[in-house]
Amino acid sequence: AGSALMGIGHGTGDNRAIEAARAAPGGGAKIPGTVCKSETAPFLVETSDEALAVDRLCLEGKKSVASEEFIRGHPDIIGAVLL
């Protein structure tokens, strides 16, 4: 399966490739694209209906990492809105 590219909405301009994700219940944010977390997923992206639980991603030019590892290194992404 192909990777989905996304830009981070808080000014970094970096690209991330989502390598593994699944549908999940929403994390409570009201704006689609908002990054949040839940008890079952450390990295959720809200959609208009539910959420996308990101399990693994890759920073542009970097190695692939699990979402838990990514969040530890980039805790400020929680609350950001992806474009």
3-state helix, strand, coil in the chain (%, to 5): 10, 40, 50
Could you give the C-alpha distances from 12 to 1, 23, 35, 39, in angstroms and in order?
27, 26, 15, 27
14 falls in which pLDDT band (50, 70, 90)?
A: low
Give the per-residue pLDDT at 53: 95
| pTM score | 0.75
